A and B are shown apart, each in its own frame.
Chain A
Amino acid sequence: MWILRLNMTDHSYKLEDILERYKHLGGRGLTSTLIYDEVDPQCHPLGPANKLVFAPGMITGTSAPTSARVSVGAKSPLTGGIKESNAGSGWAPALARMGIRALVVEGQPEGEGFWMAHIAMVDGKPQVAFMPADEYTGRDLYEVYPEIYARFGNKVHVAAIGTAGEFGYPNSGVAFNDMKRNPTRYSGRGGLGSVMGSKRLKAIVIDPTDGPGVHIADEGLFKQGQAKMREALMEHAITKPKGGLNSYGTAILINILNEAGGLPTRSFSAGRFEGAADVAGEAIFETNKERTGKEVYNHACSPGCIIQCSNTLYDKDGKEAVSCIEYESDWAFGPNCGISDLDAIGQLVTLCNAYGLDTIEAGVTIGVAMDSGMIPFGDAEGAISLMHEIGKGTARGRLLGMGAANVAKAFGNPRSPTVKGQAMPAYDPRAVKGIGVTYATTTMGADHTAGYTIAPEILSVGGASDPLKAEKGKADLSRAFQKTTALIDSSGHCLFIAFAILDIPSGFEGMVEEVNGMFGTNMTGDELVELGAEILRRERAFNEKAGLTKAHDRLPEFMHIEPLPPHNVVVGLPDEVYDAVYGEL
Chain B
Amino acid sequence: MTELKTVGKSIERVDIKAKVLGTAVYAADIKLPGMLHGKIVRCFEHAHAKVVHLDLSAAAAVPGVVKVLGPKDVTSKTYNQSVIDLMASKTEGAMLGDIEEQHIFTEHVKFWGDGIAGIIAVSEEVAERAAKLVRVEYEPLPVYITPEESGHPEAVQFTPHKPGNRAFQLPEEMFPGNALGWGDVDKAFEEADLVIEDTFYTPKQKQCQMEPNSYVALYDDSNRLNCWTSGQMPKLVHEKIARLFDLPMSRVTIHQTVVGGGFGARLGMVLEPEICAMALAVPGRPVKIQQPREEDWLTSPSRHPARYWMKIGFRKDGTPLAVDAKSVNFKGGYYLDGSALASTTGFWLQGMYKFENLRYKGESYFTNQPVCGAFRGYGNPQTNFVLEQMIERACVQLDLDPLEWRRKWHKETGDMSWLNATPYTSCALNDCLDRGAEVIGWAQKRKKYANQTGPKRRGIGVAVGNHTSGAFPMILEHTTCTVRLNEDASATVLVACSDMGQGAHTSLTQIAAETLGWPIEDVRLETGDSDANGFDIGAHASRTLYVGGAAIMKACQDARGQLLDRAARILKVNRDELDIDNKTIFVEGEPERSVSAVDICRTGIYNFIDHATGLPEGELGQIQAYVSYKPDQNSPPFFATFVELEVDTETGEVELLELVSSHDIGKAIHPAICEGQMEGGAQQGLGMVLTEEMYFDERGFAINNSFTDYKMLGASDMPKMTSILVENGDPYGPFGAKSVGEAGVVTPVGATANAIYQATGIQFTQGPITPEKILHEIRKRGLTYD
Q: Do A and B come from one complex?
A: no
Chain B residues within 8 Å of A, Cβ to Cβ: none
